[in-house]
Structures are given as structure tokens and as C-alpha cells.
Homo-oligomer: A and B are copies of this chain.
Amino acid sequence: MIRIGIYGYGNLGRGVESAIGQNPDMELVGVFTRRDPKTVSAKAPVYRAEDAISMQDKIDVMILCGGSATDLPVQTPLLAEHFNVIDSFDTHAKIPSHFTAVDEKAKKGGKVGVISVGWDPGLFSLMRLYGGAVLPEGESYTFWGKGVSQGHSDAIRRIEGVVDARQYTVPVEKALSAVRSGENPVLTTREKHTRECFVVAEEGADTARIEKEIKEMPNYFSDYDTTVHFISMEELRANHSGLPHGGMVIRAGKTGDGSKHTVEYALKLDSNPAFTSSVLCAYARAAYRLQKEGKSGCMTVLDIAPKYLSPENVETLRATLL
């Protein structure tokens, strides 16, 4: 049995907890939280985050479920010296420096740290790699959605007069069709995705001003065609309480004889955090096995042979999957 610890117990931590139950070779040893453990109820004992390191001998892999902004840059290197670790660090520009920090500590401790695991970065990164390698003459396209962007929803919530909000990223059908047809179009940000916002405003708030602030918000909305709907809290709760997401990675290219090919990988996810958690567990298995084989240091999904993800032995995989 692979003994798992969960470090950080929000949406993602709870997702990992239930994903462990689907993997017969894993057991949850403990949940580590910055809150008062007495106030947290989980399917395993709950410990204070600062007590984690003292449990080094009881946990094979620590799955970090904190946020990329401030939690993981500190926590993953810290814990990588003492545990095999997995995180879902997704601040793209900082991945190289995060890698270096985790690599140093993991090597020092003789552990394996796998960073930036999930579906993007993660499975989508894999598909961009495989697509580019098997069709070197071509273009790769990534579309996200239809799904809830938590970052964009949060950005709307910070506007004065907004009580709650949900933002959907929606791929543009016309752009998708052009890509699938093998035309290899050059697409602007605006041409690839639209943004649809469902906003609950305070009573008496100036909705015209809120809508303008959303649509003009740099980085988040100003480069997109954005639609804003003001709805009631009841409607938000009834119709927009989930966190569905997904998307597509498409590689379209030509082989040397001039014939055209498209490779498309598509995810349709009812719950973004539940699926991400499930991917984290598969890579926890890989980290455990790789460290048992004597490996140490930081890795990403690009460094890990597929066989390490499956609970089956490789002879069975060869006989059943090839």
C-alpha cells in the first residue's frame, strides 16, 4: 500500500481524499491543515501542517493541495526534502524556478517531487508534446472550456458591488472548426475564446458600471468578447454551483508525403477539482515507484514513463493495452 498524506484541505484536498478510495493500492494516512485540526473532519486523522515533517516515516507520498500563488512555492520545496511530493503548480512563468527549488530539496532528501500535475499543465502538456513529436510539421492549438475559470470568477468578485460571480470560458466554434479542418489558422486571443459571466450584484448597485469594469479589465477580459448576465443568488446557486471544465488540444499537420493529419485530445469534466485530484493520485503512484527505483529530484509529467501511472504490472499492461 502506498501511504498518502494530503497537505491542504480545500476542494482539491477533498478530491484527493475521495480519489484515494478509488485506487486499491493507496491508503490515506493523514490530512494536514493550517486550520485548527479539531475544526476539520476528514476520512483520516487531521494534523497541524507544522507537524507533517515529524511523520516522515509514516507517509510515502505527500500530495500538496494548496494554491499556486503563495502556498506551493513555499510548501513544495519545504516538504520535498522529507517526502515524495506531488503538486499542481500552474503559474506558467514560474515553473522553471519552482522546478529548480523543488529539485534541489528533493535531491538533498533523496525524494522525488513531481510538479505541475493535473490536466493543464499536465495531461494537456503531454498531448502538446506527443502531438509535436509525431507531427513535427504542424501547429498545436489549445482550447479551454466550456468551463468555469475560478481565477476569472474571483476577479469579478473583487469589483465593488459584486456579491458573487461565475465566469465561463467558451471556445469559439468557428475557430475550432477551422483548426479541425487542418487549415492551421493564425488565431488571436479574441478569436479563440469568449467569456460569459453570471454576476450577482448588491441591491441597488450600478450594474452598468460593473459590466463596464468587467469588460475593460486588462489581462482578464479586455482581450475577449465578454457577455455579462446579472442574475439572482438563487439562480447562481441553482444553475452555476458546479465547477465543470475541459478543453481540447489539437495538433494539425502534414507528413513528408504531403498528407494531412489531425490529432485531437478532448476532456469533458463535470468537476475540475475532482478530475485534477484523480490525476494527482496517478502521479503519486509514479513518484513512489520512481523513488523506490532510486530516482530523486524534481520531475514533471514529461519525464515520467506512462507505465508508472498504472497499478497494473508492465507485463499485464503490454498484454492488455498494446
* Contacts from A to B (Cβ < 8 Å): 14-15, 17-23, 92, 95-96, 99, 116, 121, 123, 125-126, 128-130, 132-137, 242, 255-257, 259-271, 274-275, 277-279, 282, 285, 300-307, 309-311, 314-315, 317-319, 321-322
Is the pair A256, B275 in contact by a Cβ cutoff of 8 Å?
A: no
- Ranked nearest first, the 5 interchain pairs of A and B with the lowest CB-CB distance are A18-B256, A259-B270, A133-B309, A259-B271, A255-B274
A22 to B135, CA, bound (A): 9
A296 to B: closest C-beta gap in Å? 16
Q: When A92-B322, A130-B306, A133-B282 are in contact, do A261 and B255 touch as well, CB less than 8 Å?
A: no
Instruction: Choose one: B123, B129, B260, B318; the contact of A302 (CB below 8 Å).
Output: B318
Is the pair B121, A322 in contact by a Cβ cutoff of 8 Å?
A: yes
Chain B residues closer than 8 Å to A306, beta-carbon distance: 126, 129-130, 133, 301-304
Is the pair B259, A274 in contact by a Cβ cutoff of 8 Å?
A: yes
Chain B residues closer than 8 Å to A268, beta-carbon distance: 261-262, 264
Is the pair B92, A282 in contact by a Cβ cutoff of 8 Å?
A: no
Chain B residues closer than 8 Å to A307, beta-carbon distance: 129, 302-303
A264 to B123, CA, bound (A): 12
A15 to B121, CA, bound (A): 33
Chain B residues closer than 8 Å to A322, beta-carbon distance: 92, 95, 116, 121, 125, 300-302
Q: When A135-B278, A303-B314 are in contact, do A260 and B270 touch as well, CB less than 8 Å?
A: yes
Is the pair A255, B22 in contact by a Cβ cutoff of 8 Å?
A: yes
Is the pair B133, A319 in contact by a Cβ cutoff of 8 Å?
A: no
Instruction: Choose one: B257, B300, B310; the contact of A18 (CB below 8 Å).
Output: B257
Is the pair B269, A261 in contact by a Cβ cutoff of 8 Å?
A: yes
